[in-house]
């Protein structure tokens, strides 16, 4: 069995994406790793080449900013990576998503095991969404808890919406015409994705937020939204909790270089009354009511019936 992996990035150094660390964390799992590299001007290409691994391949692209509305450009870049895959299974990591070295072999075993079940189209990973610093994770309803990051290679599996997840479509034409597609049938695994999207110095985080938001809004709305922003407000979140586990080894030097302070202030929570109520119900029952799920979670009975 061959496992392929990919990510996409543009000017990753400029915005302090840990994309080199993300690539490095995937290499023990995959047989090849394709980096879909947008037209960067900050040395990102040289940084990728410096990994010096025969598994790593660069696919150079030019970002068409006319596709920026609704995050369509991200889906396009993701799909270009998919088109370059040659493996039986695909591992996708975004440029700020990292696998702990302790989980690499476990992930490979999961892929080998669930390859025996034709009904399983993908694997569902829990997410550790860090915010503010490396000691706090989002545990409220503002961030996704699970996402598909490994799945079978299939010509009609494409990035869904802005590439947050994946779905299977009836044809390429249907995908281009906006078909919603079908959710992938998945199994949940205990391999967390360390997601460092909101951990940067506040000033740089504000620049990154403005850059990212340009792919979802108009220029006028963007200027209005960020005209008075001096630094990023990490407390503009519904709920954070303390993280007490260990970070991936590839992140240690970045974590040691942290030069800003963050203090979580729960009183500044942006959670609505409804969400506060739902959070309490979740604490009592362990069930997140109304959670968005871009996947179909398979039951044990479905797996038992459908094994080879």
Indicate the pTM of the whole model. Answer: 0.92
Asked whether residue 192 is domain-assigned, the answer is yes
Total domains present in the chain: 1
For the beta carbon of residue 188, count every other beta carbon within 10 angstroms: 13
CA atoms within 13 A on the CB side of 16: 19
Asked whether residue 307 is domain-assigned, the answer is no
Residues 289 and 281: beta-carbon distance below 8 Å: yes
Q: What are the structure tokens assigned to 235, written together?
A: 């407390």
CA dihedral sign of residues 82, 85, 89, 95: negative
Asked whether residue 259 is domain-assigned, the answer is yes
Place of tokens 């019936």: 305
Q: What are the structure tokens assigned to 236, written together?
A: 């503009």
**Domain extent for 216:** 1-301
Asked whether residue 60 is domain-assigned, the answer is yes
Domain with residue 86: its CATH number is 3.90.550
For the stretch 110-113, contacts whose Cβ atoms lie closer than 8 Å and that sit 24 or more positions apart, written own/partner, are 110/150, 110/189, 110/191, 111/1, 111/3, 111/150, 112/1
Residues 58 and 50: beta-carbon distance below 8 Å: no
Question: How large is the angle between the packed helices 219-226 and 202-213, nearest 10 degrees?
Answer: 160
Asked whether residue 161 is domain-assigned, the answer is yes
Asked whether residue 306 is domain-assigned, the answer is no
What CA–CA distance (Å, rounded) separates 209 from 50? 28
Asked whether residue 273 is domain-assigned, the answer is yes
Q: What are the structure tokens assigned to 219, written together?
A: 């220029």
* Alpha-carbon dihedral 199, 12, 44, 220, rounded to 10 degrees: -150
Asked whether residue 170 is domain-assigned, the answer is yes
pLDDT tens for the chain, residues 1 to 308? 999 999 999 999 999 999 999 999 999 999 999 999 999 999 999 999 999 999 999 999 999 877 766 678 999 999 999 999 999 999 999 999 999 999 999 999 999 999 999 999 999 999 999 999 999 999 988 788 999 999 999 999 999 988 889 999 999 999 999 999 999 999 999 999 999 999 999 888 888 877 767 676 666 666 666 666 556 888 888 889 999 999 999 999 999 999 999 999 988 877 777 777 777 777 778 778 778 899 999 998 898 876 65
């Amino acid at each position: 069995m061959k496992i392929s992996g990919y990510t996409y990035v543009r000017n990753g150094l400029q915005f302090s994406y840990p994309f080199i660390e993300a690539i490095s964390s995937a290499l023990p799992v995959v047989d090849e790793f394709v980096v879909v590299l947008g037209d960067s001007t900050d040395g990102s290409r040289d940084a990728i080449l410096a990994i010096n691994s025969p598994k790593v391949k660069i696919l150079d692209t030019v970002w068409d900013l006319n596709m920026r509305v609704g995050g369509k450009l991200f889906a396009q870049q993701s799909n270009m990576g998919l088109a370059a895959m040659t493996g039986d299974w695909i591992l996708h990591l975004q440029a700020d998503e990292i696998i702990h070295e302790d989980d690499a072999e476990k992930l490979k075993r999961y892929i080998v095991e669930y390859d025996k079940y034709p009904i399983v189209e993908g694997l569902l990973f829990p997410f550790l969404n860090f915010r503010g610093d490396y000691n706090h994770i989002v545990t409220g309803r503002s961030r996704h808890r699970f996402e598909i990051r490994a799945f079978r290679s299939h010509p009609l599996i494409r990035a869904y919406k802005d590439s947050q997840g994946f779905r299977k479509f009836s044809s390429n034409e249907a995908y281009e015409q906006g078909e919603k597609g079908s959710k992938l049938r998945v199994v949940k695994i205990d391999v967390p994705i360390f997601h460092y999207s909101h951990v940067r110095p506040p000033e740089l985080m504000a620049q990154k937020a403005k850059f990212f938001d340009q792919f979802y809004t108009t220029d006028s709305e963007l200027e209005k939204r960020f005209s008075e922003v001096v630094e990023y407000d990490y407390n503009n979140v519904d709920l954070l909790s303390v993280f007490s586990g260990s970070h991936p080894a590839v992140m240690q030097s970045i974590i040691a270089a942290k030069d800003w302070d963050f203090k979580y202030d729960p009183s500044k929570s942006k959670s609505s009354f409804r969400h506060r109520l739902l959070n309490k119900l979740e604490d009592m029952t362990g069930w997140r009511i109304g959670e968005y799920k871009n996947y179909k979670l398979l039951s044990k009975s479905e797996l038992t019936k459908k094994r080879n």
